[in-house]
Amino acid sequence: MGALQASTIERAAVRGRLPSGIALGLLTAAWLVAVARAPLDSVQGVLQKILYVHPPLAFAAYLGFGLAALGGALFLWRGDEAYDRLARSAAEVGVLFCTLVVVTGPIWARGTWGRWWSWDPRLTVTLLLWFVYLAYLLLRAFTEGSERSARFAAVYGIAGLAVIPLNYYAIDLAGGRSMHPQNLESGSLGPGMGWPFLLGVGVALLAFAHLLARRIEVESLRARLAERLARAPRGPESSDPEGGPWAT
């Protein structure tokens, strides 16, 4: 059942390419209009509009890391490589989004807190997660053999997720003062700011899903090509001792 589910996800990812691309384009346009028309913050001015970018990116990044660990755990449990392709793709897209979070955060912080960085628990945990998943990608790049690199990465990804609650407690203990706003409750945004924010979340999640699906598509094509090359008789085209640029 596991294999069926995983390959179904991959097929859906490939088939949804055009619809998700169109939806992403439309939603992004709506979001841009909404952000442009959203009222200016009375204290922070135009800088506050980064609200419509920064937290949505963070949600997508956390989703990516969660999926990477989940895919890894499922791979270890079921042994189906499709789960590993999901984990690898989610980690890569997650790192991309987290990089944007780590860049947009300090820009906002500089304008509102007066400095680029604070060792606030949420900032620190996000930064450490970014490092964990950068190391995860490096580990994959430096390990030979796709099955082995999948196992190694899965174990590391799970360990990286297990450390998050410990980090929160530890940074609190080390006296990291909390500056970052807590979770937004409904109604905590000013009038006219709710819609652009929700659209921003939608755009970020859809962009994440779209990129993830493209990445999974590449990985599954690569796996199929490797399979085909392994089965094909060694002709002049496949005489490359490394198995060509697609060897994994």
Partner 1 sequence: MSVVAAILWKDLVTEWRSRDRAVAMAVFALLVVIVLHFALPAGRADELRRLAPGLLWITYLFAAILGLNRAFALELENEALSGLALAPADRGFVFLGKAAANFVILGAVQAVAGVFFGLAFGVDLLAVAAPLAAVIALGSLGICSVGTLFSAVSVRTRYREVMLPLLLLPLLVPVLIGAVEASAGLVESGVLRWRPLQLLIVTDAVFLIVSFLGFEFVLDE
The residues of the shown chain that bind partner 1, judged by CB under 8 A, are: 76, 128, 131-132, 135, 138-139, 142-144, 148, 151-152, 154-156, 158-160, 162-163, 166-167, 169-171, 173-174
Q: Can you read off the two tokens belonging to residue 66?
A: 């969660």
Neighbours of 170 (CB within 10 A): 15
Closest approach, Cβ 97 to partner 1, in A, equals 18
Neighbours of 141 (CB within 10 A): 8
Closest approach, Cβ 213 to partner 1, in A, equals 27
DSSP per-residue letters across 72-102: HHHHHHH--HHHHHHHHHHHHHHHHHHHHHH
Closest approach, Cβ 13 to partner 1, in A, equals 26
- Please identify, using beta-carbon distances, which residue of 46 and 141 lies nearer to partner 1: 141
Burial 80-118 (b: 16+ CB within 10 A, else e): bbbbbbbbbbbbbbbbbbbebbbebbeebbeeeeeeeeb
- Please identify, using beta-carbon distances, which residue of 159 and 218 lies nearer to partner 1: 159
Closest approach, Cβ 117 to partner 1, in A, equals 16
- Please identify, using beta-carbon distances, which residue of 24 and 163 lies nearer to partner 1: 163
Cβ contact 133:160 at 8 Å: yes
- Please identify, using beta-carbon distances, which residue of 22 and 159 lies nearer to partner 1: 159
Closest approach, Cβ 98 to partner 1, in A, equals 13
Closest approach, Cβ 176 to partner 1, in A, equals 9
DSSP per-residue letters across 22-73: HHHHHHHHHHHHHHHHSPPBTTTBGGGGGGGTHHHHHHHHHHHHHHHHHHHH
Distance of CA 124 to the CA centre of its chain: 18
- Please identify, using beta-carbon distances, which residue of 163 and 179 lies nearer to partner 1: 163
- Please identify, using beta-carbon distances, which residue of 43 and 142 lies nearer to partner 1: 142
Cβ contact 228:42 at 8 Å: no
User: Dihedrals φ, ψ of 45, to 5°?
Assistant: 65, -145
- Please identify, using beta-carbon distances, which residue of 50 and 155 lies nearer to partner 1: 155
Closest approach, Cβ 244 to partner 1, in A, equals 20
Tokens 């430096």 locate to: 142
